[in-house]
Amino acid sequence: MSTLFGLLNIAQNGLAAQTAGLDATGQNVANVNTPGYSRVTANLETTATGDTFAGSVQVSGVVRSFDQFTYGSLLSEQGQSGAADARSQALQQTQTIVAPTDGTIGDQLNTFFSSLSALQNAPSDPSARSEVLSDATSLAQSISTTAAGLSGERADLLTQAQGVATQVNTQLQQIAQLNQQIATSQGDAQQPTDLLDQRDQLASQVSTEVGAQVLVDSSGNYTLLSGGTALVSDSTASTLAVGLDASGNLKITSKQGTDLTDITSATTLGTLGGLRETRDTDIPNYQSQLDQFSYNLATKVNSVFSSGYGLDGVTGRNLFVQPATTAGAAYAFAVDPSVANDPDAIAASGTATGLPGGNDTAVALAGLASQALGSSSTPSGAFATIAASVGNDVSSAQSEATLRDDTVSQAQDLNDSASGVSLDQEETNLTSFQRAYEASSQVLQTASSLLQDLLTIQIGA
């Protein structure tokens, strides 16, 4: 009689086990499109020999599929992709400032030198001098506006970087809270698979923003690292802050309690790393090139212009404000106040006696269009070098972003193969658990029938 009761128990345990398997399969199928979801499996074990119902099956919980290696690789690729995407987008914005589709500094240069050519052909024509002054003013404004645009872009990138830090701080706090909740649940012998998924998803987001590595201890706690610094440890989260250092570059710090760590140099990954590279490396390079171009242009033009005479007979004036130093030359680029708003101050003749029809200075000024400026063959070539520098960086950044998007997809596929849901596999599992459930049910019915027959016989006896 005990054997039949044992068979009943085995069948009941089998039904419970297959039900747990079906529940896990149903959960997987329902969450196949849920971002960050990890596949779960009912952990079935055979009862140990010596137990009252040895040979039965028991459910010892639900196992969450998670591979530390594939997940770590995904975080690494996301950090690099975040940096590449941020730099690519920021550089594209920078390109619209330095080299818009029309009305560039190069266009203004060509117009300016064309007006000088017209002046050399008609030095006594007041309208020709007015045109030179107008085009010189437009060129100066274009250079100054471009320099201001680059400075404004750096200010915008600072604001963006601070916004990233604010967002990451919220995510770090959530991860620290989840660490505590998970530890509590596991201490109560619960299996908080949903909390674990949430934590992984948040860590993935942090990695995209600042780059991240994750260490998991035996109790399941995360230690989240970025740039070699712990941003989350147990239930404690650090706070990121973005400001400026003495040179005007980004300064990124991590504060945990009273400990403040400068992590600027280590912040090379994620959106924050990409913004930092564009703001503090790429744009200053363009600014330096534009300053050098502006200094050289003003110096070259002024050296010729100052030797000529205006219609008013005055000489020694500069066409452009002469920069004292290369630094800041582009931002301060302007028509000299002694010439501004006065077409008669435009020099065309090389001598006072040549007025009003002398044109040797105008000829020399027009000739600058084909003379070397700095290390470039011409003024237009000098600016083209700057525009090409930006264009090459944009092209390279876009290629890097595309490459990193592909590597993230590959890493995601690899991680999904380890922890994601496969509908084909779940369909196979569904059929397997269904058949096992039906078989266990048949065993239960058979055992119940035999037990009923035995009881009938004993009562009849």
Residue 423 is predicted with a pLDDT of 85
pLDDT band at 50 (very low <50, low <70, confident <90, very high): low
Q: Report the SS3 class of residue 215.
A: strand
Residue 404 is predicted with a pLDDT of 97
pTM of structure: 0.87
Phi-psi region of 358 (alpha: psi -120 to 50; beta: other; left: phi over 0): beta
In tens, the pLDDT along 161-181 reads: 999 999 999 999 999 999 999
As a whole number of angstroms, the distance between CA 413 and CA 420 comes to: 9
Average pLDDT over residues 236-264: 95
In tens, the pLDDT along 354-397 reads: 999 999 999 999 999 999 998 888 999 999 999 999 999 999 99
pLDDT band at 306 (very low <50, low <70, confident <90, very high): very high
Q: Report the SS3 class of residue 256.
A: strand
As a whole number of angstroms, the distance between CA 286 and CA 94 comes to: 9
Residue 429 is predicted with a pLDDT of 84
The larger pLDDT score, comparing residue 277 to residue 423, is at 277
As a whole number of angstroms, the distance between CA 146 and CA 154 comes to: 13
Residue in the structure block whose two tokens are 């079906």: 22
Nearest residue to 82 (alpha-carbon basis) of 196, 169, 174, 164 = 164
The larger pLDDT score, comparing residue 32 to residue 211, is at 211
Q: Kindly report the average pLDDT of the chain as a whole number.
A: 90
Average pLDDT over residues 214-240: 88
DSSP 314-358: -BS--SBPPPSSSTTTTTT--B-TTTTT-GGG---BSSSTTTTT-
Domain ranges of the chain: 2-65+425-460, 71-94+156-274, 102-151+280-396
Is the predicted pLDDT of residue 5 greater than 60, yes or no? yes
Q: How many residues does the chain have?
A: 461
Is the predicted pLDDT of residue 431 greater than 50, yes or no? yes
Average pLDDT over residues 146-166: 98
Residue 434 is predicted with a pLDDT of 84
As a whole number of angstroms, the distance between CA 328 and CA 294 comes to: 9
Q: What is the largest CA-CA distance in the chain?
A: 148
Q: Report the SS3 class of residue 53.
A: coil
Q: How far is CA 419 from the centre of its chain?
A: 26
- Helix, strand counts (H, E) of the chain: 10, 9
Average pLDDT over residues 331-340: 97
Is the predicted pLDDT of residue 136 greater than 60, yes or no? yes
DSSP state of 281: I
Is the predicted pLDDT of residue 147 greater than 70, yes or no? yes
As a whole number of angstroms, the distance between CA 14 and CA 60 comes to: 13
As a whole number of angstroms, the distance between CA 137 and CA 266 comes to: 45
Residue 1 is predicted with a pLDDT of 41
Is the predicted pLDDT of residue 330 greater than 70, yes or no? yes
As a whole number of angstroms, the distance between CA 456 and CA 461 comes to: 9
Q: Report the SS3 class of residue 68.
A: helix
Is the predicted pLDDT of residue 53 greater than 70, yes or no? no
